[in-house]
Amino acid sequence: MRRTAKRNVERISIDSEAGGAPSKINLYVGKTAVKFNIPEEEAVERLVDLIKEHGRWFDAPVAA
């Protein structure tokens, strides 16, 4: 499973197929792994946190 948030050249992504522990994921910024062995249940929340840490998160505009 791979999910990616792209903006400009830098990519922040989740990868569960890179030889990590079963049911664990690693988070990447570009090609560099920055967080390791995160439980799959926490993956999306931790990815959002990482995107926010790098100033790449944008909330959807509120519909009028």
Residue 12 sits in which domain range? 2-53
Instruction: Examine residue 29 and state whether it is found in any structural domain, yes or no.
Output: yes
Instruction: Examine residue 64 and state whether it is found in any structural domain, yes or no.
Output: no
- Long-range Cβ pairs for the range 47-56 (8 Å, 24+): 47/3, 47/5, 47/12, 47/13, 47/14, 50/12, 51/5, 51/12, 54/10, 54/12, 54/29, 56/5, 56/7, 56/10, 56/12
Instruction: Examine residue 58 and state whether it is found in any structural domain, yes or no.
Output: no
For the full predicted model, state whether its pTM sits above 0.75.
Answer: no
Instruction: Examine residue 60 and state whether it is found in any structural domain, yes or no.
Output: no
Instruction: Examine residue 61 and state whether it is found in any structural domain, yes or no.
Output: no
Number of domains in the chain: 1
Give the tens place of pLDDT for each residue, 5-62.
554 556 777 676 655 678 899 999 988 999 999 999 999 999 999 999 999 999 889 9
